[in-house]
Structure 1
Amino acid sequence: MIPLPAPEATRLTVAPMMDWTDRHCRVFHRLLAPNARLYTEMVHAQAVIHGDRDRLLGFDPIEHPVALQLGGSDPAHLAEASRIGADWGYDEINLNVGCPSDRVQAGRFGACLMREPRLVAECVAAMAAASPVPVTVKCRLGVDEMEDYEVFLAFVDTVAAAGCGLFVVHARKAWLQGLSPKENREIPPLRYDWVHRLKRERPKLRILLNGGLATVEDAVAALDHVDGVMIGRAAYHEPYRLHLMDQAMFAPGAPPRDRAELLRSLRPYIESQRARGVALKHVSRHLLGLFHGQPGGRAFRQVISEGAPRPGAGWELIEQALAMTTRAGRAA
């Protein structure tokens, strides 16, 4: 088993989210949370092997530490994709065994693999043999009628024996039929007790808790029971909350940075991307929630949403949005 990163390196992580956690989003999240571990969107192993690697795998050095999440169920393909990912400089290769979407199931990967622990173990063993960086797994508690903690524990034990020392556990099971991916994130009940018990019974494994951790207090309290937390939609829709979590976990008592100050630290990146021909809208879509719940937050979103798609839009639009936010906040 390849040694895992230091425990503090996985205390706070940002979930892989399809169509959201692209390279622009990850750079923004890195500025908000200097100590967090970032994850790519899930990329299928076949796409890594045969696709446009610069588009699929490219990332900015500021993103480190960053993990590549892979999908697939063929050990040889996953091994090759893991080797490629490590060659590209990723700090971790993560196997998705938790996504419940119909498209993923049709390809025989994601959450449906929880029914096949031996296959997952074969995949992990092949990936670990091919990769010089840690291979980890993101999973659920089970699928469909699976309601037995011992079955979940047996899955973890089987996969751990193949070389996986870190599990990110979404503390819900998944329904493979009848629920959408969104419903699968909300309807199956959270079972934090299963994840806490897993850590107690397998203390040598690194266990990260995912699911329902929406507040700073929730995230910090979870660290009393597990090694780390993974934050998903809360970090995306309200990104300043990610900054507050990073502060609470790594610099308790220190004052958080101002939202506008954080945003202005993104200016060099935005201008470098514009110089490469990247439209502002591809970066700015990840910024819309920064002033969520604040006076002027609606004005901020409106200025960016309406202006970023226009040809030639650049940093000046961000400054305009900040100015409008300030004015709206004073008037509130």
Structure 2
Amino acid sequence: MPAASNTMTNTVLITGAAGFIVSNVAKEYLSAAPEARVIVFDKYKGDDLAQEHLRPYADRVEHVFGDIRDKALMRDVVQTYRPQEVIHAAAITHQAQLERDDPSVFIDVNINGTVSLLEAVKADSGLRRFVYVSTGGVYGEPSERSPAGPQGEEGPFDPPELYAVSKYTSELLVRRYGKLFGFETLRVRFADVFGPMERATGARTTLSLPYGMMRAVLEGRTLKVSSSALDAKMDIISAEEIALAFTRLLLQPGLPHDVYNIASGQHLSIRDLLEAFRSVEPRFSYVETTTAEADVTADPSLTRGRYNAYDVSRMRDLGWQPRPLKEQLERYRDWVAHDPVNRCPATSPARS
């Protein structure tokens, strides 16, 4: 590990930054904070796409490869780079088969990995803030306690799968460590996300509906959507919009809350999403079909809990506003068009 430089005024350690969402956060933050340096920590060395993504800021980016569960390594990383802020996103996302085959891996990576990092930073007097990247999955399946209006940060909470369970557990651990050891903590929860840098990785196998729509265009095929799915609803947002919101949080010297939803705040039907994409990409087409034949299936009765629109009033109070959905989709289409093979590689069609 190289000796750390102290010429930059702000150093941010980002775990999982070779992946999807936080790679966009890293790029936007580097653009908005020219004095900042980012330490990218990831188990995977990343593909050419990951290297290309941050290349414009290569002089302010350092890469460290390793396992978040390695306590000695994490202590070494923290002591070497002395980050003022930590963004912890390294995790294994929900995979149904993996949950059945090896359920303990979600506990080991997502919870023990978080504790490993918390133990490394707890004695570092230079740490100002620890940001934990969580998920809207912590709001769980719809129940009688779920709000009919937009889902707020106050819950209720009923995480179903081990991924969401591990995320909520880690949220509580981060909050408690911050109180015990005197550093600020921030937790962020996302709704459904699409956009630049999305692709299948070792930690992520479930891809967004816009990814599936883009693949259909590239393959010259019509996307098959079950009739019932057309009326199903979601709150969906581009990773670019999340990066803008996230950067706004990072640049705030003080925040009135310690947890924020980042989402569109709108309940959009799959039909409306398909039509929005067709309006910006004329080559796209879809057809209604049976559930058995469909590429895209979804249950229209699921409208509350994690399937709800998310309350983003806390973010709006900070002056953040996402761009219109059509513009988000158009930007994603244009990003893919520059290198379709690598930016939207072939995979199984997305299922909601």
Interval containing the TM-score (normalised by the shorter chain):
0.3 to 0.5
More helix by share: 1
* TM-score (ref. length: structure 1): 0.36
More strand by share: 2
* TM-score (ref. length: structure 2): 0.34
